[in-house]
């Protein structure tokens, strides 16, 4: 597969699409829709919607070009045995993790709210990583999966920018993966945390990774598609 040049901050990068993957983090109903975990914590979940359309566009291009796509979901076993006590004790008891809500038990695997939003629903071929923590590498087989497929670069999208996206990027960086975070494909309940989360990644010469807008990836991907069709 071809290489593409991606304009990014702090500097442009060349990416071999054979060794790149699109990682879409926690685009779950529990975070993006009313009645889920995000709202239970007092957040305005509509703030996350801005990331959906750009994510959808990048997902479509990745699928078209055969770039590996991996989705993640944050959540816990129904018996809560994989959830630390301090996490379970957060918030009002009637809306905590495991409590019943309009989309089933909050942040519990197998419940409607835990699943990925219909707009970005994984295809059968796309691995879905169920993670008990914020980071997608913690207690999952993501690292193994990426290494088995020879992946060294991750295009990162999802929610929320400063929590699961940032944690995953930091984990990935320590494990030797190059991260290119797609700014408009990420979102936060707190716009200032979104901005700060991205700033922290790209500061100091890209201490955790690079940041760019989805258009800066879509443009070179579209050009690849045209060359291949011609």
Q: Which residues are catalytic?
A: 26, 131, 164
b (16+ CB within 10 A) / e for 114-127: bbbbeebebeeebe
> For residues 36-95, which are near ligand C5J according to CB under 6 A?
74
Give 155 or 189: the residue with its C-beta nearer to ligand C5J. Answer: 189
165, containing H or E segment: none
**Cα distance between residue 58 and residue 199, in whole Å:** 22
Give 154 or 163: the residue with its C-beta nearer to ligand C5J. Answer: 163
The answer to the question of residue 115 lying near ligand C5J (CB under 6 A) is no
Residue whose C-alpha is closest to residue 118's, from 214, 28, 24: 28
Give 26 or 39: the residue with its C-beta nearer to ligand C5J. Answer: 26
CB of 45 to ligand C5J, least distance (A): 11
> For residues 143-182, which are near ligand C5J according to CB under 6 A?
159-160, 163-164
Residue whose C-alpha is closest to residue 212's, from 64, 3, 10, 4: 10
Give 19 or 173: the residue with its C-beta nearer to ligand C5J. Answer: 173
**Cα distance between residue 101 and residue 103, in whole Å:** 5
The answer to the question of residue 26 lying near ligand C5J (CB under 6 A) is yes
Residues that bind ligand C5J (CB under 6 A): 26, 31, 74, 159-160, 163-164
């Amino acid at each position: 597969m071809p290489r593409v040049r991606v304009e990014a901050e702090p500097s442009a990068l060349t990416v071999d699409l054979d060794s790149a993957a699109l990682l879409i983090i926690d685009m779950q109903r529990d975070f993006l829709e009313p009645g889920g975990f995000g709202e239970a914590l007092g957040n305005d979940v509509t703030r996350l919607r801005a990331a959906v359309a750009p994510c959808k566009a990048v997902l479509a291009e990745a699928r078209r070009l055969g770039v590996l796509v991996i989705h993640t979901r944050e959540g816990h076993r129904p018996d809560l045995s994989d959830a630390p006590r301090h996490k379970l004790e957060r918030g009002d008891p009637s809306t905590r993790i495991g409590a019943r809500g309009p989309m089933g038990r909050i942040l519990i695997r197998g419940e409607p709210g835990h699943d990925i939003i219909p707009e970005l629903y994984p295809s059968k071929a796309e691995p879905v990583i169920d993670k008990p923590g914020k980071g997608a590498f913690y207690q999952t087989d993501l690292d193994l999966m990426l290494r088995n497929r020879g992946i060294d670069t991750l295009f990162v999208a999802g929610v929320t920018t400063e929590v699961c996206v940032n944690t995953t990027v930091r984990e990935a960086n320590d494990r030797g993966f190059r991260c290119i975070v797609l700014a408009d494909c990420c979102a936060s309940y707190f716009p200032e945390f979104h901005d700060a989360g991205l700033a922290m990644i790209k500061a100091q010469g890209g201490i955790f990774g690079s940041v760019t807008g989805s258009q800066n990836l879509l443009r070179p991907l579209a050009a690849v598609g045209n060359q291949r069709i011609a």
